[in-house]
Amino acid sequence: MFKPAQYFTEVAREIKKVTWPSREQTQEKTVLVLAVSIIIGLYIGVLDFVFSKLLAVLV
């Protein structure tokens, strides 16, 4: 049977085992994710622009 008190005790115990990233690591990964997102967004935007112009020429 589900016991909420036991569940939360075990969750707290597991959380103590987690190795959390440092502030610097978190900032580095955040910048990396933002940069990759911007690059992919620009790539998709350029492809969309090129294909829409190409389609306009063909139609």
| pLDDT at residue 30, rounded to an integer | 99
Query: Using only C-alpha atoms, what is the Rg of the chain?
Result: 24
Yes or no: say if 39 and 47 are a contact pair by the CB < 8 Å rule. no
> Per residue in 31-57, pLDDT tens?
999 999 999 999 999 999 999 999 999
Q: Is residue 55 part of a domain?
A: yes
> Per residue in 9-38, pLDDT tens?
999 999 999 999 999 999 999 999 999 999
Asked whether the predicted pLDDT for residue 2 surpasses 90, the reply is: no
Q: List the domain range (segments joined by +) for residue 45.
A: 31-59
Q: Is residue 5 part of a domain?
A: no
| pLDDT at residue 40, rounded to an integer | 99
Q: Is residue 15 part of a domain?
A: no
Note every long-range contact of 42-50, with CB atoms under 8 Å and residues 24 or more positions apart, other chains counting.
none
Three-state DSSP state, 37: helix
| pLDDT at residue 8, rounded to an integer | 96
Q: What b/e string do you get for 29-53 counting C-beta neighbours within 10 Å, with b at 16 or more?
A: eeeeeeeeeeeeeeeeeeeeeeeee
Q: How many domains does the chain have?
A: 1
Q: Is residue 44 part of a domain?
A: yes
